Amino acid sequence: MKFQPLADRIRPTTLADVVGQPHILGESGLLRRIIESGSIPNMIFYGPSGVGKTTVASIIAGQTERKLYRLNATTASISDIRQIFDELGTMLAPNGALIYLDEIQYFNKKQQQSLLEFIEDGRITLIASTTENPYFYVYSAILSRCTVFEFRPVGAEEVEPAVRRAFSLADPSLSVSDEVCAHIASSCGGDVRKAMNAVELLAQAARGGTVTLADAEQAAQRSAMRYDRDGDQHYDILSGLQKSIRGSDPDAAVHYLARLLEAGDLISACRRLLVIAAEDVGLAYPQAISIVKACVDTATQLGLPEARIPLADAAILLATAPKSNSGIRAIDAAMQDVRDGKAGEVPDYLKDSHYSGAGRLGHGLAYRFPHDYPNHWVGQQYLPDTLRGTHYYDYGENKTEQRAKAYWDAVKGRI
């Protein structure tokens, strides 16, 4: 008898049994309504593994009475799809075909372009899945012909009932505590398949008819970690870190920092903290840049696990510091003008005059040296004539920048 993994044996056959995805499969969810209508468009399912993408595709094929062909883009080719196309109208696929193409991001641009002739025919419905953001990895012509649905990690409270059912199916005689089920559900990182695999392993290894919490902890260790240094999770976690610090939430900041460090990604954590110090705290507390640099230097010299200590200090310091993005707004506005061709000639009196002949060119002759004047300031134009009066920098509302503003307003006679 062929072995069938528990995850396949417990796979839902109706939408009512699917675990998670209430935002698209709930009673009013758009994907659920599309499926129930029976008119299935070409679609792309985007989300992490183990959250129901393949299951939903199978349910769609069953409900619409179409033959389901499952291909994986890591091994399949356009010739495989052409072979399926040739079967249409035969006894093998009388109602048309539904092709489930897993990991479509592994098809190159030419292969993805070749898909168009098949999905535009109308007899083939394509459901492609990807764990990567399709707007980065899927050819635009395919995207324009497909509806994208995002599948999200399944919450522990939704996984736990599935864990209980899985234990009952694996071995109804097992004694399994609520604590064990809760631990597996919370440790799978929203991946239902991973939870089912843990259940299957524990059921096979159980002694005396009991699944212990210690065994569950060992089977599910580090399973909750979803992280890919080159994928969406990497950038999502870094984004979460920066936005938490920008939002002055030290608890969320150390949470996202912990996820980076648990994945061993010391470099990304250090780089992002340095960016935040300049971009989000900036001129409100300019000393933060040098403090964070010292923390980063210390962390890189220590290495993990000790590096977590100075980096946590840096994250909490940044999260609790006053905030200002006046610096980045100023430089971005100036750079946009440069890109738009708004550069202009440097005024003659500001040009380099430290060479023989500069005076004959009129360079530097009318320059007024600010240190020769009271308060080391004298009014003169510094921007090119074409940008005269242009304003890039606005003082932030924090105390540091407002003190600087008050000082220069007084010096320049504005108050």
| Residue-wise pLDDT tens digits, 241-251 | 999 999 999 99
Q: What average pLDDT does the structure give for the chain?
A: 88
- d(CA 203, CA 138) in angstroms, rounded, equals 40
Q: Which two tokens stand for residue 360?
A: 């004959």
Spatial contact of 181 and 215, defined as CB atoms under 8 Å apart: no
Spatial contact of 167 and 174, defined as CB atoms under 8 Å apart: yes
Give pLDDT tens digits for 285-298: 999 999 999 999 99
- d(CA 246, CA 365) in angstroms, rounded, equals 47
Amino acid 132: pLDDT: 86
- d(CA 94, CA 66) in angstroms, rounded, equals 8
Q: Which has more pLDDT, 275 or 79?
A: 275
pLDDT average, residue stretch 1-23: 83
> Residue 263 pLDDT more than 90?
no
> Residue 237 pLDDT more than 60?
yes
Amino acid 127: pLDDT: 94
> Residue 226 pLDDT more than 60?
no
Confidence at 228, pLDDT banded by 50, 70, 90: low
Confidence at 229, pLDDT banded by 50, 70, 90: low
**Nearest Cα to Cα of residue 199 among 21, 20, 10, 12:** 10
- pLDDT cut 90: percent of the chain above it: 53
Least confident residue range of 57-71, 144-158, 222-236: 222-236
| Main-chain dihedrals φ then ψ at residue 190, nearest 5 degrees | 80, 5
* Burial of 350 per CB tally in 10 Å (0-12, 13-18, 19+): middle
pLDDT average, residue stretch 109-113: 87
Amino acid 23: pLDDT: 93
What domains sit in the chain, N to C, each tagged with a CATH number?
21-150 (3.40.50.300), 156-219 (1.10.8), 232-320 (1.20.272.10), 340-411 (1.10.3710.10)
Q: Which two tokens stand for residue 364?
A: 């530097």
- d(CA 310, CA 173) in angstroms, rounded, equals 50
Q: Which has more pLDDT, 329 or 206?
A: 329
Q: Which has more pLDDT, 259 or 355?
A: 259
- d(CA 42, CA 177) in angstroms, rounded, equals 43
pLDDT average, residue stretch 21-28: 92
> Residue 93 pLDDT more than 60?
no
Amino acid 85: pLDDT: 79
Task: Mark residue 164 as left, alpha or beta (left: phi above 0; alpha: psi -120 to 50; beta: remaining).
Answer: alpha
Q: Which two tokens stand for residue 337?
A: 């003008």
> Residue 393 pLDDT more than 90?
yes
Q: Which two tokens stand for residue 347?
A: 């005024």
Amino acid 336: pLDDT: 94
CA distances to 280, 285, 318, 375 from 299, in Å: 21, 22, 16, 42
Least confident residue range of 73-77, 330-334, 396-400, 403-407: 73-77
Q: Which range is most confident: 5-9, 37-41, 185-189, 369-373? A: 369-373
Least confident residue range of 174-183, 226-235, 314-323: 226-235
| Main-chain dihedrals φ then ψ at residue 126, nearest 5 degrees | -100, 125
Amino acid 133: pLDDT: 87
What's the per-residue H, E or C state across the chain? CCCCCHHHHCCCCCHHHCCCCHHHHCCCCHHHHHHHHCCCCCEEEECCCCCCHHHHHHHHHHHHCCEEEEEECCCCCHHHHHHHHHHECCCCECCCEEEEEECHHHCCHHHHHHHHHHHCCCCEEEEEEECCCHHHHCCHHHHCCCEEEECCCCCHHHHHHHHHHHHHHHCCCCEECHHHHHHHHHHCCCCHHHHHHHHHHHHHHCECCEECHHHHHHHCCCCCCCCCCCCHHHHHHHHHHHHHHHCCCHHHHHHHHHHHHHCCCHHHHHHHHHHHHHHHHHHHCCHHHHHHHHHHHHHHHHCCCCCHHHHHHHHHHHHHCCCCCHHHHHHHHHHHHHHCCCCCCCCHHHCCCCCCCCHHHCCCCCCCCHHHCHHHCCCCCCCCHHHCCCCCCCCCCCHHHHHHHHHHHHHCCCC
Q: Which range is most confident: 260-274, 285-299, 338-352? A: 285-299
- d(CA 185, CA 191) in angstroms, rounded, equals 9
* Burial of 208 per CB tally in 10 Å (0-12, 13-18, 19+): exposed
Give pLDDT tens digits for 61-75: 988 888 889 999 988
Confidence at 227, pLDDT banded by 50, 70, 90: low
